[in-house]
């Protein structure tokens, strides 16, 4: 019977050339699930390979590394076919992708191709013997967390955003199996070709929120120019990253790149201070892994206070003046 | 025989209005256009108005009868055709089932050279539909665009922008486009435009006239199922402070200080 | 009888609410006339709602118009600006459109629908208010022209209007009046300075002076010496459609009161739970529903080309009384907040107070109503 076959969780890494934190977060999460469920974790990786990278995969929990260096510009369709090939070979029960633009695209294509259930932007995944895999994700309409279960299919797919899970390094005593493959430049994948392309201008550089251990968040209650200015000055002093909630981004008070929450980025800083943040669940999703949360809001009923370690009912301006 | 004018299909997702506007009034519709599709619609209508482009702008919307008002709006704004995909057996469809239904709809329409979908919807779907649709239809191109600049007979020219750069791209057709720009504010439609839109008909596509396999749609055809919904944030033990600004400030400074001392940790 | 709204009417309502909230409710201009607002409203297509498509209108029914204007009142907080629109649409543009010759319509309607020309009506004089026929403004025939002399008082839109529908005496005994379209451009036309009023500040009001104004005879609306019929018609339209928005305003104010009643707590419970508050709100709702019925009935009559003179008087009187009462009650419900400038209710009340006066005072309306019913019983 098929049941005797070793079951696998396949983690598909993006087409980046190096191992990165995001991949490791997912692999480690896969490993923690696998330890309960008795699965093996296999990783499909198309980047460069050296000792350190291999060690990196091993340390965060990969049991099998399926790797092959891909041509630089491996396209979406070719990548999908590659994943398809390995899914057919390994028959994994769960396939996890990075919730990057690329990863989500591939996941969606694979989902349609295999008619497999897909849960995007999982916030948590767990396994139990009777029900199999369960996925948690925020369901915005109802401002709640939905638990999702795959039905009518043997394979489950999930995508995971960066920063949602933690990483721990494992002390490895067992060996990681290596399966190499090769990907060739294939011009038959003309499907994606762009005929013409011209770079126009450099826009501002990306803000890497993950590099900061302290994050200041501007909410609607702190969107006056004086407050914003004060928060930025304070951020400079303490080397903190300034982010914002959706209403603040929409009003153009700070750049779109700084948006945190369901429609923006998720962060897991050591310290998060919400200035005038009300705490819509869309935003809370993005900060739930912050170690410590300080919330300052003049409205004692603001939902963020339910999730904060320190709730300060005060006017943001009064606090800023003193800081 | 004259060549039939080819279609550009815009898939519009109805989203709950109160997600878009905090103070939506009681008279407003329960559902509104997803802001990404709204922007795409304006973009395409503008191209049509400029006159050079020859295409039939077809808006399709999946949902119950309430979604009809969204299509009405799209027609008032200047779309050529409105298709309501609605059937009781479609309820509960996930993306796998939805893309199947949309595929059948596009095939029924025929003569489609481009499909435009918003990159994501405001209520949390994360843009799987365009990909799945593209895969199912076997359209050769899948592109990301922030603005459509020109629609030619066999290609589309569009602008792509990310955090780093802006590119002007050209892709062959047929293609599916994920539209990456959005518009939050409601465009005002003049009374005359409403009257004009009224003259255009909204067609109903259901499981029968699309020849849908009932086993592949709705809850039966879905691969995912929501089993539980809860408000699941771990409430923490918290300290609540009121009134004493000085105390608050001290706590903040202390905590900020701690963050400073500890060096940027690695994964530990 | 059908009291359901059509899909199209609902869409019109939705759109006008969106439009008004977006463009007409700037908190800083609630008591000002802004030309920008006028242009936007023209682009939106409101002015041509009931005007035929040949003049750029939409050719909609008066029932639809009743609903749309009610919605305008509901969404637009600037009552003075609504008053400007009403004076333009219902008592100048619409009168020329309905009773003017083809030449006259061709000459003016398209521009009025497009908002390029603003209209006003001139009936009242310093010494002739309710007794309009005692007016002193005269028009003497001279060749192809009439020479107008006199002055008109309290001309709403006066300072901004381009076109005046002026009534003047063309025959002394028996006294006959005639309606003329007078352009601001005509020599001898002058308007006075803005007259400061208690409310409706967004509607500029002034005197109109006519000194030897040559008006071509084509500019007569209807026939010579038949002005009083036109005047009656104008008043009938005014009493119906200028008061349609008030029904919407009452609705808006009622909703604010309900909200306040639910959130404001005293002695441990929302004040809306106290009967003294809830009954006021119930009265508001009753007034709104009754007014609405009368409004739709008049619109229904107008769609059938029937006269609604008595109905318009009844509607006008009832709505204005209830409108004022609603505003007063709202101030009372909001208590001290209601009396402040910040909450805007005092402005609503000031604006509302005018409604029992304009279009013929309520006292005069009651005379009219009695005159009409008296004839029904022999």
Q: Would you say B142 and B117 are in contact if contact means Cβ atoms under 8 Å apart?
A: no
Distance CA(B223)–CA(B128), nearest Å, equals 14
Using the Cβ of B208 and the Cβ atoms of chain A, whether some distance falls under 8 Å is answered with no
CB C237 within 8 A of CB C94: yes
Cα C357 to Cα C338: distance, rounded to the nearest angstrom:
24
Q: What is the pLDDT of residues C351-361, one digit of tens each?
A: 999 999 999 99
Q: Is residue B89 part of a domain?
A: yes
Among A183-192, A229-238, C24-33, C350-359, which is the least confidently predicted range? A183-192
Mean pLDDT of A80-104: 90
φ and ψ at residue C122, rounded to 5 degrees:
-120, 100
- CA of B88, closest CA in chain C: separation in Å? 23
What is the average per-residue pLDDT within C24-38? 90
Torsion of CA C363, C369, C372, C373, to 10 degrees: -120
Instruction: Examine residue B96 and state whether it is found in any structural domain, yes or no.
Output: yes
3 state SS of C339? helix
- Mean pLDDT of chain A, nearest integer: 82
Q: What's the confidence (pLDDT) of residue C297?
A: 95
Q: Are strands A241-244 and A214-218 parallel, antiparallel or unpaired?
A: parallel
pLDDT value for C356: 94
pLDDT in tens, C37-56: 999 999 999 999 999 999 99
Q: Is residue B85 part of a domain?
A: yes
* Strand-strand pairing, C265-266 and C220-221: unpaired
Average pLDDT score over residue span C6-31: 89
Q: Which residues contact B85 (CB under 8 A, 6 or more apart)?
A: B60, B61, B62, B63, B101, B102, B105, B205, B206, B210
ipTM entry: 0.77
> Which of A149-163, B91-105, C236-250, C310-324 shows the lowest mean pLDDT across its residues?
A149-163
Element (DSSP H or E) covering residue C335:
none
- Judgement on whether residues B109 and B178 belong to the same structural domain of the protein: yes
Mean pLDDT computed over every residue of chain B: 82
Which residue is associated with the tokens 């949902």?
Answer: B63
d(CA A97, CA A158): 6
Residues of chain C in contact with residue B193, where contact means CB-CB under 8 angstroms, are 45
Q: Are residues B106 and B166 in the same domain?
A: yes
* Interatomic CA distance for residues A108 and A251, integer angstroms: 32
Q: CB–CB of A323 and B135 under 8 A?
A: no
Chains that touch B (3 or more CB pairs under 8 A): A, C
B135/B190 same-domain check? yes
* A247, pLDDT greater than 70: yes
CA distance A153 to C105: 71
Kindly report the nearest CA distance between residue B196 and chain C, in angstroms.
Answer: 10
pLDDT band at C271 (very low <50, low <70, confident <90, very high): very high
pLDDT tier at C8, thresholds 50, 70, 90: confident
Q: Residue with structure tokens 């392309």? A: A197
pLDDT tier, A298 (very low <50, low <70, confident <90, very high otherwise): confident
pLDDT at A319: 84
* pLDDT (tens digit per residue) in C115-166: 999 999 999 998 888 887 889 999 999 999 999 999 999 999 999 999 999 9
Residue range B208-233: mean pLDDT, rounded: 80
If you measure CA to CA, which chain B residue comes closest to A144?
A: B231
Residues C339-346: contacts with CB within 8 Å, 24+ apart? Answer: C344/C30, C344/C77, C345/C253, C345/C256
B190 neighbourhood in chain C, CB within 8 Å: 15, 43-45
User: For tokens 């209830």, what's the residue?
Assistant: C322
What pLDDT is stored for residue A263 in this prediction?
Answer: 67
Helix (H) / strand (E) element for A156: namely strand A156-160
Q: Which of B29, B188, B198 sits opposite C22 (nearest CB)?
A: B188
pLDDT at A203 over 60: no
Strand partners, C168: C178
Residues in chain B within 8 Å Cβ distance of A158: none
Closest CA to B69 of C12, C67, C63: C12
Cα torsion A288, A294, A300, A301 to 10°: value is: 0
pLDDT at B56: 92
**Range in B217-221, C242-246, C261-265 with the lowest mean pLDDT:** B217-221
Band the pLDDT of B8: cuts 50, 70, 90: very high
Assess whether B122 and B255 both reside in one domain.
Answer: no
Q: Is A in contact with C (3 or more beta carbon pairs below 8 Å)? A: no
User: What is the percent of chain B where pLDDT is above 70?
Assistant: 83
- Would you please indicate which residues of C are annotated as catalytic (active-site) residues? 238
- The answer to whether residue B48 sits within a structural domain is yes
| Position A202 pLDDT exceeds 50 | no
Indicate the pLDDT class of residue B261, thresholds 50, 70 and 90: very low
Residue A225: per-residue pLDDT: 85
The reported pLDDT for the residue numbered A1 is 38
Of B8, B131, B120, the C-alpha closest to B74 is B8
Mean per-residue pLDDT, C93-110: 95
The angle subtended at Cα C310 by Cα C309 and Cα C311, nearest 5°, is: 95
Task: Determine phi and psi for A99, rounding to 5 degrees.
Answer: -80, 55
Choose the mutation target among B38, B77, B188 for the interface with C, i.e. most C CBs under 10 Å.
B188
Give the pLDDT mean for A239-248. Answer: 86
Chain A residues within 8 A of B30 when measuring between CB atoms: none
Binned at pLDDT 50, 70 and 90, residue B154 comes out as: confident
Q: Specify the pLDDT at position B185.
A: 73
Q: Is the pLDDT of residue A28 over 50?
A: yes
Phi, psi of A121 (to 5 degrees): 50, 55
B207 and B251 belong to one structural domain: no
Same domain, B268 and B161: no
Cβ atoms of residues A66 and A44 within 8 Å: yes
Q: B17 at the A interface (CB within 8 A)? A: no
Q: Out of A78-87, B233-242, C361-370, pick the least confident.
A: B233-242
Indicate the angle between helix axes C7-23 and C35-44, nearest 10 degrees: 160
Q: What is the pLDDT of residue A60?
A: 86
Answer whether residue A152 shows pLDDT above 90: no
Residue A306 CA to residue C182 CA, distance in Å, equals: 69
Q: Highest mean pLDDT range out of B124-133, B152-161, B225-234?
A: B152-161
Closest CA to B105 of B202, B216, B207: B207
- Helix residue ranges per DSSP H, chain B: 17-20, 35-50, 68-77, 95-109, 128-137, 191-198, 218-221, 245-261
The pLDDT of residue A246 is 83
Average pLDDT of the residues in C338-366: 93
Tell whether the model's pLDDT for residue A33 goes beyond 60: yes
Give yes or no: residues B14 and B135 share one domain: yes
**Residue B174: is the preceding peptide bond cis (ω within 30°)?**
yes
One domain for residues B175 and B112 = yes
Helix, strand, coil shares of chain C as percentages rounded to 5? Answer: 55, 15, 30
The shortest CB-CB distance from A117 to any of B96, B120, B258 is to B96
Secondary structure element (H or E) that encloses residue C118, with its range: none
**B225 found inside a domain:** no
The answer to whether the peptide bond before residue B145 is cis (omega within 30 degrees of 0) is: no
Q: In chain C, which residue's Cα lies nearest the Cα of B69? A: C11
- Do B256 and B186 reside in the same domain of the chain? no
Share of chain A above pLDDT 90, in %: 15
Residue B256 lies in a domain: yes
Whole-number Å distance between alpha carbons of C243 and C235: 12
In terms of average pLDDT, the best of A109-118, A258-267, B254-263, C58-67 is C58-67
B247: in domain: yes
pLDDT band at residue A54 under the 50/70/90 scheme: confident
Q: How far apart are the first and last CA of chain B?
A: 71
Strand pairing category for C145-156 and C205-216: antiparallel
Chain A residues within 8 A of B142 when measuring between CB atoms? 76, 105, 191-192
Q: Tell me whether chains B and C touch (3+ CB pairs under 8 A).
A: yes
pLDDT band at A198 (very low <50, low <70, confident <90, very high): low
Alpha-carbon span A245 to A248, nearest angstrom: 6
User: Could you report the per-residue pLDDT of C202-223, keeping only the tens digit for each?
Assistant: 999 999 999 999 999 999 999 9
Domains and CATH numbers, chain C: 7-118 (1.10.540.10), 120-226 (2.40.110.10), 243-374 (1.20.140.10)
In this model, does residue C180 exceed pLDDT 90? yes
Q: How many domains does chain B have?
A: 2
Whether residues B87 and B146 fall in one domain: yes
Summarize pLDDT for B39-56 with one digit per residue, the tens.
999 999 999 888 767 889
Q: Which residue has the higher pLDDT, A147 or A209?
A: A147
Are residues B62 and B99 located together in one domain of the fold? yes
CATH of the domain at B101: 3.40.50.620
Q: Note whether residue B228 is domain-resident.
A: no
In chain A, the residue whose alpha carbon lies closest to the alpha carbon of B257 is A238
Task: Please tell me the predicted confidence (pLDDT) of residue B268.
Answer: 34
Q: Which domain holds residue B247?
A: 234-268
How far does B180 lie from chain A, in Å, by closest CA? 11
- Which 3 state secondary structure label does DSSP give A83? helix
Q: Does residue B192 share a domain with residue B94?
A: yes
Phi, psi of C63 (to 5 degrees): -65, -40
Residue among B184, B236, B259 minimizing CB distance to A214: B259
- From A63's Cα to the closest Cα of chain B, the distance in A is 20
Residues with Cβ within 8 Å of residue B51, at least 6 apart in sequence:
none
């Amino acid at each position: 019977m098929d049941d005797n076959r070793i079951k696998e969780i396949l983690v598909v890494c993006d087409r980046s050339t190096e191992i990165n934190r995001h991949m490791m977060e997912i692999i480690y999460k896969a490993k923690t699930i696998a330890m309960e469920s008795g699965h093996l974790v296999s990783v499909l990786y198309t980047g460069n390979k050296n000792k350190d990278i291999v060690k990196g995969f091993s340390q965060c929990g990969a049991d099998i590394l399926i790797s092959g260096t891909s041509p630089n510009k491996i396209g979406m369709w070719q990548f999908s076919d590659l994943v398809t090939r390995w899914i057919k070979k390994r028959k994994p029960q769960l396939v996890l992708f990075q919730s990057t633009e690329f990863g989500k695209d591939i996941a969606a294509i694979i989902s349609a191709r295999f008619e497999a259930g897909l849960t995007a932007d999982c916030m948590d995944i767990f396994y139990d013997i009777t029900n199999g895999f369960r996925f948690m994700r925020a369901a915005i309409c109802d401002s709640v967390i939905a638990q999702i279960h795959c039905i009518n299919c043997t394979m489950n797919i999930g995508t995971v955003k960066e920063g949602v899970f933690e990483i721990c390094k494992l002390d490895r005593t067992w060996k990681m199996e290596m399966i190499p493959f090769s990907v060739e430049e294939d011009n038959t994948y003309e499907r994606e070709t762009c005929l013409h392309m011209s770079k126009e201008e450099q826009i501002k550089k990306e803000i890497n929120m993950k590099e900061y251990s302290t994050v200041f968040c501007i909410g609607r209650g702190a969107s006056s120019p004086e407050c914003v200015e004060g928060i930025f000055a304070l951020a400079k002093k303490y080397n903190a990253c300034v982010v914002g909630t959706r209403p603040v981004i929409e009003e153009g008070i700070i750049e779109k790149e700084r948006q945190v929450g369901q429609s923006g980025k998720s962060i897991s800083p050591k310290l998060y201070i919400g200035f005038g943040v009300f705490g819509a669940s869309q935003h809370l999703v993005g900060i739930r892994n912050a170690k410590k949360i300080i919330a300052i809001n003049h409205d004692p009923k603001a939902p963020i206070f339910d999730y904060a370690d320190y709730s300060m009912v005060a006017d943001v301006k009064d606090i800023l003046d003193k800081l | 025989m004259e060549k039939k004018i080819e279609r550009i299909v815009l898939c519009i997702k109805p989203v709950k209005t109160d997600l878009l506007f905090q103070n939506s009034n009681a008279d407003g519709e329960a559902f509104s256009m997803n802001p990404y599709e709204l922007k795409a619609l304006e973009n395409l209508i503008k191209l049509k108005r400029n006159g050079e482009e020859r295409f039939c702008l077809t808006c399709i919307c999946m949902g119950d009868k309430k979604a009809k008002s969204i299509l009405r709006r799209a027609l008032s704004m200047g779309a050529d055709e409105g298709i309501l995909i609605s059937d009781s057996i479609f309820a509960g469809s996930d993306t796998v089932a939805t893309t199947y239904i949309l595929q059948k709809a596009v095939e029924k329409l025929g003569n489609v050279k481009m499909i435009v979908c918003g990159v994501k919807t405001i209520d949390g779907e994360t843009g799987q539909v365009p990909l799945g649709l593209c895969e199912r239809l076997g359209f050769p191109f899948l592109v990301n665009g922030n603005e459509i600049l020109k629609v030619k007979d066999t290609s589309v020219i569009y602008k792509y922008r990310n955090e780093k750069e802006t590119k002007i791209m050209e892709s062959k057709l047929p293609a599916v486009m994920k539209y990456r720009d959005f518009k939050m504010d409601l465009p005002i439609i003049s009374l005359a435009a409403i009257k004009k839109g009224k003259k255009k008909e909204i067609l109903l596509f259901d499981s029968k006239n699309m020849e849908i396999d009932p086993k592949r749609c709705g809850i039966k055809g879905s691969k995912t199922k929501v089993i539980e919904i809860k408000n699941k944030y771990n409430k923490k033990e918290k300290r609540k402070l009121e009134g004493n600004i000085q105390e608050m400030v001290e706590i903040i400074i202390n905590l900020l200080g701690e963050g400073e001392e500890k060096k940027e940790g690695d994964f530990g | 009888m059908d009291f359901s709204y059509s899909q199209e009417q609902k869409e019109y309502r939705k759109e006008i609410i969106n439009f008004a909230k977006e463009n007409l409710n700037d908190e800083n201009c609630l008591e000002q006339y802004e030309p920008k607002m006028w242009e936007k409203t023209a682009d939106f297509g409101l002015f041509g709602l009931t005007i035929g498509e040949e003049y750029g209108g939409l050719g909609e029914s008066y029932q639809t118009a009743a609903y749309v204007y009610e919605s305008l009142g509901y969404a637009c907080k600037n009552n003075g600006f609504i008053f400007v629109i009403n004076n333009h649409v219902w008592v100048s543009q619409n009168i020329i459109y309905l009773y003017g010759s083809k030449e006259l319509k061709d000459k003016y309607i398209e521009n009025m629908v497009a908002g390029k020309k603003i209209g006003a009506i001139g009936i009242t004089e310093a010494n002739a208010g309710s007794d309009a026929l005692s007016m002193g403004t005269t028009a003497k025939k001279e060749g192809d022209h009439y020479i107008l002399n006199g002055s008109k008082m309290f001309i709403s839109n006066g300072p901004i209007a381009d076109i005046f529908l002026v009534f003047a005496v063309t025959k002394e005994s028996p006294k006959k009046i005639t309606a003329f379209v007078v352009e601001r451009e005509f020599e001898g036309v002058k308007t006075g300075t803005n007259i400061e009023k208690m409310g409706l500040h967004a509607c500029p009001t002034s005197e109109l002076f006519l000194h030897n104004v040559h008006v071509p005879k084509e500019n007569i609306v209807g026939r010579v010496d038949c002005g009083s019929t036109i005047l009656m018609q104008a008043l009938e339209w005014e009493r119906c459609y200028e008061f349609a928005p008030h029904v919407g305003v009452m609705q808006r104010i009622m909703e604010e009161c309900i909200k306040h009643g639910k959130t404001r707590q005293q002695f441990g419970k929302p004040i809306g739970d106290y009967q003294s508050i809830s009954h006021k709100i119930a009265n508001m709702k009753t007034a709104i529903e009754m007014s609405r019925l009368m409004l739709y009935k008049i619109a229904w009559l107008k769609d059938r080309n029937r006269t609604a003179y008595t109905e318009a008087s009844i509607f006008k009187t009832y709505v204005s009384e209830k409108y004022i009462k609603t505003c007063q009650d709202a101030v009372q419900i909001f208590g001290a907040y209601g009396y402040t400038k910040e909450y805007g209710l005092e402005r609503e009340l000031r604006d509302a107070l005018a409604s029992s006066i304009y279009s013929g005072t309520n006292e005069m309306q009651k005379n009219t109503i009695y005159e009409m019913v008296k004839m029904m019983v022999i």
